RNA sequence: GCUCCUAUCGUCUAGCUCGGCCAAGGACAUGGGGCUUUCAACCCUAAAACCCGGGUUCAAAUCCCGGUGGGAGCACCA
């Protein structure tokens, strides 16, 4: 009997929503609510068939009446369904309070939005499980890394509001890495190879072993000491992990563990000339530093086997490893190499050029840390390849800046308007139209105004327009750079335009960053436009970094107060 | 060439582990409407997707097999 009531309820809902109730649909609902009914499917479908027939023979008004009787229950079910719609961050088997994650950048360039994804994923998991979150500078290539970039990461991470429980550097652990390398050589799991680069590459591709692989541990050990002592030049000798030269997974074909780099290291100076490779270094540092769950982007997925093999060969604890997809931003790049090329060519001004997706650029452009975090949380922790539109970032950002942006009038390409038949008027304009109206910009207007060139184009002699928050004027004559108008009485449908009053204005410019790349992935020469115009004189009260909404134009941030340069944020 | 990963509205995703609450939910973008002396914000609303083909099952986005598309690896970079 219970089952029949349930069937009746969902048949009514189904019929109400789709005109006629459907047996399969009602059946599904009933089973999910009362799994025990599955015991006799034949009887159940007969019952539901009967109920559905009854409900379908109801007329509309009695159907609606019956539906309304369940309205509260349906409402509760609907809202429960709508609640869980954000990407989830779950680690299978993670233990509360025991999780340790890390963000592990190489200090070889500016932090960008792609790093942020990695950092935020690691941070989110650590916080979710009430664990520890570490900052690990992975600096094992003295040719690439610089203190300046370490400093920049610190600055950007702090701005993003990321707090770390611990910070460490790969390059502080080189001695330990050496001792583990020796252990591996000694037990025959690694050897010194003196093939040239091309030979190694070719053999790896072909799955062929070289003669050095059979070298006795004692000899390799001696040669490794020689490497440490500087007996070899760069590329003359490397230490390789001895695994399987014909493994289908090519990362397991005896990868490089250590190689010679004679460049001076920004942190360690000339202390070391032999440096571990990423493949050798990362698992060891993670394991030794107590990382329980290591997330990295998908391109390392095939080397997860290697990560585990190295640690088991060493008898070290193996952390859990996870992969996530790289973040791509439509029409933008984060590649160091490409960025450098654009800077060199003079196409962009530097790493904080407002068109870029570096953290420095985003900060300069008035993007709020919270907006970046929200975006990442919406994107989630999946391995599916994706291209995000900048609009998604700016939509998050707009929610945050809208309440704080001061509203001002900016007229681009100004056209002078002289209004006859009007006199001085004191106006008070709200800085935050929807906030408590306790802040104003105040002007004493006379008969001379400026309006945007684009607005001037759309109005013709004889028509009336409304100067926003002021009064209507009727256009008398209009030339390319001068409009004569007359005060007019208010008209219901007058179009509303913004203005600045003479002499209460400052000259200014607004840079409008667009997509850096064309659809063909080439540099877009039109990616930065500049509009010049007048902003009302209240702008003198702004500070660098203040965010405004230029009404009918968009959000902007003051970038250079001296020159009154603004950067456009978004509509 | 070999190997790995991946596939849900235009975009980003929830759902997939454990088949039925999914005639598929949310967000962004888009269209319409409301409010408004901004083209913003806010509110309402519309259109919009399970890559393809087989199979298992009373029931498949979900499980199995086979294709196809996309991404990545095969560095003495990380």
Structure tokens at A425: 């008027």
Give nearest nucleotide to A261 (CA–C1').
B76
**What value does the mean pLDDT take over residues A17-22?**
82
- Residue A493 clears pLDDT 80, i.e. is over it: no
- Residue A503 clears pLDDT 60, i.e. is over it: yes
**What value does the mean pLDDT take over residues A167-188?**
97
Which residue gives the smallest C-alpha to C1' distance to B7? A384
Give nearest nucleotide to A15 (CA–C1').
B23
Structure tokens at A61: 């008004």
Which residue gives the smallest C-alpha to C1' distance to B6? A384
- A99-121 per-position pLDDT tens digit: 999 999 999 999 999 999 999 99
Which residue gives the smallest C-alpha to C1' distance to B17? A92
State the CB neighbour count (10 A cutoff) for residue A99.
Answer: 21
- A241-291 per-position pLDDT tens digit: 999 999 999 999 999 999 999 999 999 999 999 999 999 999 999 999 999
Residue A551, judged by CB atoms within 10 A of its CB (0-12, 13-18, 19+), counts as middle
For position A93, what pLDDT does the model report? 84
CA distances from A413 to A204, A468, A476, A559 (A): 63, 18, 21, 20
Q: What is the pTM of this model?
A: 0.92
Q: Distance, angstroms, CA A570 to C1' B38?
A: 14
CA-to-CA distance for A525 and A201, rounded, in angstroms?
Answer: 39
Length of chain A in residues, anyone?
A: 571
CA-to-CA distance for A71 and A74, rounded, in angstroms?
Answer: 5
Give nearest nucleotide to A469 (CA–C1').
B37
Give nearest nucleotide to A139 (CA–C1').
B78
Mean pLDDT across chain A: 92
Q: Distance, angstroms, CA A475 to C1' B21?
A: 64
CA-to-CA distance for A515 and A331, rounded, in angstroms?
Answer: 5
Q: How confident is the model at residue A83 (pLDDT cuts 50, 70, 90)?
A: low
Q: Distance, angstroms, CA A409 to C1' B29?
A: 27
Q: Distance, angstroms, CA A205 to C1' B1?
A: 10
State the CB neighbour count (10 A cutoff) for residue A484.
Answer: 16
- Residue A313 clears pLDDT 90, i.e. is over it: yes
Q: Distance, angstroms, CA A385 to C1' B28?
A: 18
Residue with tokens 């070298």: A215
The set of strand B positions with any atom below 7 Å of a protein CB reads 1-8, 10-15, 20-23, 25-29, 37-42, 58-59, 70-78
Compute the half-sphere exposure of residue A400: CA atoms within 13 Å on the CB side of its CA: 17
- Residue A228 clears pLDDT 60, i.e. is over it: yes
Q: Distance, angstroms, CA A197 to C1' B2?
A: 21
Give nearest nucleotide to A204 (CA–C1').
B74
Structure tokens at A159: 């701005």
Please tell me what DSSP assigns to residue A523.
B
Residue with tokens 């000259």: A507
DSSP letter for each residue of A244-297: -TT-SSGGGSS-EEEEE--SPBTTTBTS-SEEE-HHHHHHHHHHHTT-SEEEEE
Domains contained in chain A, CATH given? 2-83 (no CATH), 100-324 (3.40.50.620), 406-570 (2.40.240.10)
Q: Which of A21-25, A211-215, A297-301, A465-469 is predicted least confidently?
A: A21-25
Give nearest nucleotide to A248 (CA–C1').
B3
CB distance A508 to A534 below 8 Å = yes
- Residue A170 clears pLDDT 70, i.e. is over it: yes
CA-to-CA distance for A204 and A250, rounded, in angstroms?
Answer: 7
Q: Distance, angstroms, CA A78 to C1' B39?
A: 35
Give nearest nucleotide to A259 (CA–C1').
B76
Task: State percent of chain A over pLDDT 70.
Answer: 98
Q: Distance, angstroms, CA A378 to C1' B15?
A: 15
Give nearest nucleotide to A324 (CA–C1').
B5
Which residue gives the smallest C-alpha to C1' distance to B12? A379
Higher pLDDT, residue A557 or A433: A557
State the CB neighbour count (10 A cutoff) for residue A441.
Answer: 19
For position A402, what pLDDT does the model report? 93
Q: How confident is the model at residue A437 (pLDDT cuts 50, 70, 90)?
A: low
Radius of gyration of chain A (CA): 34
CA-to-CA distance for A401 and A420, rounded, in angstroms?
Answer: 39
Strands (E), A283-385: 293-297, 320-324, 327-329
CA-to-CA distance for A504 and A524, rounded, in angstroms?
Answer: 37
CA-to-CA distance for A67 and A71, rounded, in angstroms?
Answer: 6
Q: Distance, angstroms, CA A87 to C1' B75?
A: 35
For position A519, what pLDDT does the model report? 78
Q: How confident is the model at residue A296 (pLDDT cuts 50, 70, 90)?
A: very high
For position A139, what pLDDT does the model report? 97
Cis bond upstream, residue A503 (ω within 30): yes
**What value does the mean pLDDT take over residues A471-483?**
85
- Residue A32 clears pLDDT 90, i.e. is over it: no
Give nearest nucleotide to A468 (CA–C1').
B37
CB distance A569 to A361 below 8 Å = no
- A342-373 per-position pLDDT tens digit: 999 999 999 999 999 999 999 999 999 999 99
- Residue A20 clears pLDDT 90, i.e. is over it: no
- A206-217 per-position pLDDT tens digit: 999 999 999 999
Q: Distance, angstroms, CA A7 to C1' B21?
A: 13
Q: Distance, angstroms, CA A368 to C1' B53?
A: 48
* Number of alpha helices (DSSP H) and beta strands (DSSP E) in chain A: 16, 27
- Residue A480 clears pLDDT 60, i.e. is over it: yes
Structure tokens at A271: 């202390």
């Amino acid at each position: 009997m219970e089952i029949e009531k349930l069937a009746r309820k969902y048949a009514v809902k189904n019929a109400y929503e789709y005109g006629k109730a459907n047996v399969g649909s009602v059946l599904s609902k009933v089973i999910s609510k009362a799994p025990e009914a599955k015991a006799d499917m034949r009887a159940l479908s007969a019952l539901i068939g009967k109920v559905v027939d009854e409900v379908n023979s109801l007329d509309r008004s009695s159907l609606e009446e019956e539906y309304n009787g369940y309205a509260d229950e349906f409402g509760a079910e609907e809202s429960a369904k709508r609640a869980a719609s954000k990407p989830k961050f779950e680690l299978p088997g993670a233990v509360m309070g025991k999780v340790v994650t890390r963000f592990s950048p190489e200090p070889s360039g500016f932090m960008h939005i792609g790093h942020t994804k990695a950092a935020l994923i690691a941070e989110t998991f650590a916080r979710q499980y009430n664990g520890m979150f570490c900052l690990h500078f992975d600096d094992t290539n003295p040719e690439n890394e610089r203190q300046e970039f370490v400093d920049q990461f610190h600055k950007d991470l702090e701005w993003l509001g990321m707090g770390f429980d611990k910070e460490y550097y790969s390059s502080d652990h080189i001695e330990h890495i050496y001792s583990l390398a020796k252990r591996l050589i000694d037990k025959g799991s690694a050897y010194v190879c003196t093939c040239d680069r091309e030979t190694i590459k070719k053999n790896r591709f072909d799955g062929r072993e070289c003669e050095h692989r059979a070298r006795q541990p004692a000899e390799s050990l001696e040669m490794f000491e020689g490497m440490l002592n500087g007996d070899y030049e760069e590329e003359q000798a490397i230490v390789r992990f001895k695994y399987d030269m014909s493994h289908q997974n090519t990362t397991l074909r005896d990868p490089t563990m250590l190689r010679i780099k004679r460049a001076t290291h920004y942190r360690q100076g000339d202390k070391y000339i032999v440096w571990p490779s990423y493949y050798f270094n990362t698992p060891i540092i993670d394991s030794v530093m107590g990382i329980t769950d290591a997330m990295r982007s998908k391109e390392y997925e095939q080397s997860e086997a290697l990560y585990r093999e190295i640690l088991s060969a060493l008898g070290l604890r193996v952390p859990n490893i996870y992969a996530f997809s790289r973040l791509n931003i439509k029409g933008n790049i984060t590649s160091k190499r490409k960025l450098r090329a654009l800077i060199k060519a003079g196409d962009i001004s530097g790493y904080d050029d407002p068109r870029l997706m570096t953290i420095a650029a985003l900060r300069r452009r008035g993007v709020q840390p919270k907006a970046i975090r929200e975006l990442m949380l919406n994107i989630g922790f999946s391995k599916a390849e994706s291209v995000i539109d900048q609009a998604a970032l700016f939509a998050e950002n707009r929610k945050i800046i809208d309440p704080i942006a001061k509203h001002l009038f900016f007229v681009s390409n100004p056209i002078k308007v002289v209004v006859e038949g009007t006199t001085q008027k004191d106006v008070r304009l709200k800085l935050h139209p929807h906030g408590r109206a306790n802040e104003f910009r105040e002007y004493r207007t006379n008969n001379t105004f400026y309006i945007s060139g684009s607005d001037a184009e759309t109005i013709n002699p004889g028509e009336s327009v409304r100067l926003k928050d002021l009064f209507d004027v009727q256009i008398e004559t209009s030339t390319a750079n001068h409009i004569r108008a007359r005060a007019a009485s208010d008209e219901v449908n007058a179009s509303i335009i913004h203005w600045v009053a003479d002499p209460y204005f400052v000259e200014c410019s607004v840079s409008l960053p667009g997509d850096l790349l064309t659809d063909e992935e080439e540099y877009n020469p039109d990616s930065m436009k500049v509009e010049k115009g007048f902003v009302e004189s209240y702008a003198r009260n702004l500070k660098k970094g203040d965010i405004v909404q230029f009404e009918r134009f968009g959000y902007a941030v003051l970038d250079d107060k001296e020159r009154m340069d603004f950067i456009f944020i978004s509509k």
